[in-house]
Amino acid sequence: MKKILLATMITAFLSGQVAAKTWLLTDAESSTEQGNWHISSEQLKSGGENFSIEQKVLHGGKQEGSKVITITSKNGLTIALSPTRGMGLLHVNGHGVRLGWDSPVDEVVNPAYINLESRNGVGWLEGFNEMMVRCGFEWTGHPVTKDGVIYTLHGKAENTPASKVEVIVDDKAPHEIRVRGLLKENTFKKAKLETWTELRYVPGSDSFTIHDVLTNQSDYAHDYQIIYHSNFSTPILEENARFIAPLKEVSPFNDYAKQGLEHWSTYSAPTKDFDEMVFNLVPLADSNGKTIAAVLNSKGDKGASIEFDTHQLPRLTMWKNTDTLKQGYVTGIEPGTNYAYPVTIEKEQGRVKQLQPGQSTEFTLTYSLLKDAAAVQKVEQRVKDIQGETTTSVVEKPIAVE
């Protein structure tokens, strides 16, 4: 494939008529691949917060050919994502706090080296190490086989390289950065789902936003599911760390999780032979449908939060995997359209959504790194305000059995 180096910055008017510069890094249609690339606020001669954006092509092992885009903000966050891996977020760092975890998978695995059907449909785990993974969009949840079709773990989006990638920087302060990627889940006689993913970040900020638009490009109606599998570990996750969210209901995912129901919202230190526990949550929201969930360290001076819209993502999953550090000490906050049961169960229980031909839907989530006690207290108060006088119902029986 011939590489086409795009040195010319394309000026465009985007949302809100804000002038911006756009760089096309990848485009399957025109066989464009920028490869290693870098731009900075210094090069752009833009005022305000210093920042840089860099794409690197990785080599060696199973990460051969994988690409990583890193946004670095001197007084804010460093955000790394991979266009090769479904535009998933690898890790986020700022103020001595990390959002992400240490998976036994220590490379940015190129999907070319992954067989999703291996190990009875859990080959997805051979690349799983991201801070945020899009589980979906054609299906998600635990693997299941029905009518000869293997629905592998958590769908295909995260192992789908982006067909088009572009970086956009607003000309005017505060110079919002957008990294956009097009994911195509197109299969003859099956699906034609296309998702424009977008990461939005203002340099110097401790928050960033994910905005995705999913469109059914087929002439036929099609089901869809999405879980934003968002993962956090040390230095936030530790003994006596806490999960908080305004909730209507909590229930165990299975019988094993029932054992931990009494202390479901607090965490243990790394514990050998701890199997994962999952809890199904029904979030409460404010008058606009917005809600927030967070994981906080034991001292209450570090944390991570996710704000999302319950009209778009009405379900919330909490994944507790406090195994050893080498095995993967991690917890997940997972807003979604559904829970992580196999797609067959989710459809039976009415949690699988559908798009008509040409119809689109969108998902917006804002992630915040909570760098100090003041930031933590603000989120705690938001949770209390939304919870109000409503008591969280604790249901002891799992809502489904695999």
* Per-residue model confidence as pLDDT tens digits over 384-396: 999 999 999 999 9
Q: At 131, which amino acid appears?
A: M
**pLDDT tens digits, residue range 310-330?**
999 999 999 999 999 999 999
Give pLDDT tens digits for 79-124. 999 999 999 999 999 999 999 999 999 999 999 999 999 999 999 9
Report pLDDT for 128: 98
Q: Is residue 54 part of a domain?
A: yes
pLDDT in tens, 285-306: 999 999 999 999 999 999 999 9
* Range in 44-48, 129-133, 190-194 the model is least confident about: 44-48
Pairing of strands 78-82, 88-94: antiparallel
* The pLDDT of residue 18: 62
199-258 confidence digits (pLDDT tens) = 999 999 999 999 999 999 999 999 999 999 999 999 999 999 999 999 999 999 999 999
Report which of 138, 101, 132 is spatially closest to residue 116, judged by C-alpha positions: 138
Give the span between the Cα atoms of 240 and 66, in whole angstroms.
37
* DSSP bridge pairs for 209: 200, 366
**Interatomic CA distance for residues 57 and 1, integer angstroms:** 15
CATH of the domain at 30: 2.70.98.10
Look at residue 75 in the predicted model and tell me its pLDDT.
Answer: 94
- 47 pLDDT band, cuts 50/70/90, is confident
Nearest CA to 224 out of 135, 327, 128 is that of: 135
Average pLDDT of the chain to the nearest whole number: 95
Residue 356 and residue 216 in contact, taking contact as beta carbons nearer than 8 Å: yes
What backbone torsions phi and psi does residue 108 show, to the nearest 5 degrees?
-85, 85
Per-residue buried b or exposed e for 83-118, using 16+ beta carbons within 10 Å of the residue's own CB: bbbbbbbbbbbbeebbbbbbbeeebbbbbebbebee
Q: What are the backbone dihedrals phi and psi of residue 21, each rounded to the nearest 5 degrees, phi first?
A: -105, 140
Does some domain include residue 8? no
Quote the domain boundaries for residue 222: 25-394
- Give the whole-number percent of the chain exceeding pLDDT 70: 96
Answer yes or no: is 15 within a domain.
Answer: no
Residue 346: is its pLDDT beyond 60? yes
- Domain total for the chain? 1
- Token representation of residue 257: 């999780």
> Is the per-residue pLDDT at 14 higher than 60?
no
Is 52 among the domain residues? yes
Asked, for residue 290, whether it belongs to a domain, the answer is yes
Note whether residue 2 is domain-resident.
no
Q: What local confidence, expressed as pLDDT, does residue 48 receive?
A: 87
Please check whether residue 14 lies inside any domain of the structure.
no
What value, to the nearest 5°, has the Cα angle with vertex 292 and ends 72 and 100? Answer: 40
Domain membership flag for residue 189: yes
Structure tokens at 29: 């249609």
